[in-house]
Chain A
Amino acid sequence: MRYLAVDFGSTYTKVTAIDAGEAKILGTANAFTTIATDVMEGFNAARELLHAHMGGEFIYDKLLCCSSAAGGLAMVAVGLVPELTAKAAKMAAEGAGAKVLRTYSYELSAGEQDEIRAIRPDIVLLCGGTDGGNKEVILGNARLLAAIDRPFSIIAAGNKSASRELEEILRASGKRYVITKNVMPKFGVLDIQHAQNCIRDIFIERIIDAKGLSRVQAMTDRPIIPTPLAVLMGCELLSRGSKTTPGIGDFMAIDIGGATTDVYSMADGAPAQDNVLLKGLPEPYSKRTVEGDLGMRYSARFLLEAAGEENVAALAGVSPEEVTAWVEKCTANPETVAPENSTERRIDEALARSAIAVSVERHCGVMEKTFTAAGEMFILTGKDLTATGNVIGVGGVVKNSLKPRFILQGAMGTPQTMLRGAMMPERPGFMLDQRYIFSAMGLVSQVDPELALTIMKKEIQPLPEGTHGD
């Protein structure tokens, strides 16, 4: 059996040729995504390159595809209380592979309604209220969303007691909608799987067509899924293993792009110490967060703001003025590439390390120390990832750098982050997904998990200690 896995990215269409018999990757190739005209052009160009690289045509038995092209799966999450159903909605959407453009809580204001109209999401996930809890807010928000003259789909996953009235409001809206189980049926209990299945179904049924991918879909019997979902599936398999083969255990994986940084953690996140009280929502074993303001090009300015130009300059060994100048250049021309062995390359590496530092800190839980009549106590909100075994750099910036270890070290806790209680990895090993195979292996895992796991264990290798950048 031979598989061709294709990832239609926002910039590149990446193809991966896999041979099941030999359990190996025969080759990979990239070409520019041509979704604006005809997606097949980029796909065929990538295949041509693959054939040139392999020295002959690659005939596949099965085509497997994922896509983050044309803006990916753009979503808006709406909930009631920010730390409760609004957070649950965002977590559900990010775990389904979406890019959550905005998260709203309480009743939407007129301004927020306009904002949703302006940002044109593909799907709005509407939550609010535990089962039997608050109904008014989700119903009010359903009416406000129904009134927005944009063709987005609505998934309602809130208080079940509101479902009859929701049905009436949404049916009258003329929008594609689905009402599913509550993301938080009881206080503090998460049940996001149903909402996530609906997101996947709508992506397959509506969005593939809207993004110009229907010709590709017609070539395969497997549905095209969002790329981050494929990566998440690959990560989960590598961590937990298959039915017969063990995985590699807890890890975090980080993918830095031009516009966003994705962080994945595969760990239950239970506190590594005693005397800890857990607060806030329970978080899933396989968790994904996306930072829309942290990226190497389109959002470089925001990244610099979050990281601080002094800090980036110190990491790169240059002056803050040089950093600012480079970031301005990159923001103005996102295709800018830093020459090898240049000052600019050093700044890019410092920026990448900073993107990891900020995004990982946001992903990890927070431990607060407090004093009670019974002595010292700790309160943990979110995942404790201090004991994470490995941090894996996924493709792109990390792969192209001569100092991957230096960049990935951004994921480790520092004295400053510890003061803020951030539960970041303390002594992780570092690994590299050299050929960017996570999404391809996530796709393969749907049909042959054993094969995907074997290949990932072969391909994703530890970075030896003492390499450049230590």
Chain B
Amino acid sequence: MEKKTLVTGVIGADVHAVGNRILAMALEEAGFNVVNLGVMVSQEEFIDAAVETNADAIVVSSLYGHGEIDCQGLRQKCDEAGLKGIVLLAGGNLVVGKQDFAEVEKRYLAMGFTRAYPPGTTVETTIHDLRELLGG
């Protein structure tokens, strides 16, 4: 089975580097081909990297609370760039303050994300879901 390619990174003006690096290492160890773009990644950079590497999924991290604004329109831009139906995951502290995650998840799914994850999600959960979604 060919390795599945994931593009990872922290979106927007967010400089939280550590968690993203650990996530990238864990995903790599789990057998994925990981293209980690690091911190302060724009939507366009995620898309450019996914086009060039023919990625199977984009895994967006956001820790600083403004993820909801940063993530708006990413699905539509993916569609425009020819990345039709690409798996989009988002996780971290996706919104400001303590909100009911069921509501947050609903909003992210409405934005076109395949899955959204609350704070404290284990990396095993992400790996499990990615295998299920990508059939890897």
Contacts and interface: CB of A to CB of B under 8 A. Distances in A.
Interface of A: 80-81, 83-85, 128-130, 132-135, 184, 186-187, 277, 279, 370-374, 377, 379
Interface in B1-45: 2-3, 5, 13-15, 33, 35, 38-40, 45
A373 B5 CA distance: 30
B13 A372 contact: yes
A135 B54 CA distance: 8
Nearest to B41: A279
A370 to B, nearest CB: 6
A266 to B, nearest CB: 28
A32 B38 CA distance: 55
Nearest to A130: B53
A80 B45 CA distance: 14
B15 A132 contact: no
A186 B51 CA distance: 13
B52 A133 contact: yes
B37 to A, nearest CB: 8
Nearest to B35: A187
A372 B14 CA distance: 6
Given A133-B5, A187-B35, A83 B15 contact: no
Contact of B51 (A134, A184, A277, A374): A134
Sort chain B's interface into a size bin: 20 to 34
A interface, over-half SS: loop
A128 B55 CA distance: 14
Contacts of B2: 132
B15 A134 contact: no
Contacts of A371: 13
Contact of A184 (B33, B38, B52): B52
Q: Which of B2, B38, B45, B52 has the most CB of A within 10 A?
A: B52
B15 A187 contact: no
B104 interface: no
A129 B54 contact: yes
Contacts of B39: 277
B52 A187 contact: yes
B108 to A, nearest CB: 21
B40 A130 contact: no
Contacts of A84: 48-49, 52
B33 A132 contact: yes
A251 B23 CA distance: 41
7 contacts: A81-B52, A130-B52, A130-B53, A132-B3, A133-B52, A135-B54, A184-B52
B56 to A, nearest CB: 11
Contacts of A186: 35
A169 B118 CA distance: 49
A129 B52 contact: yes
Nearest to B42: A279
A277 B54 CA distance: 26
Contacts of B15: 277, 372-374, 377
A85 B51 CA distance: 11
A80 B51 contact: yes
Contacts of A279: 45
A81 B14 contact: no
A467 B129 CA distance: 70
B34 to A, nearest CB: 10
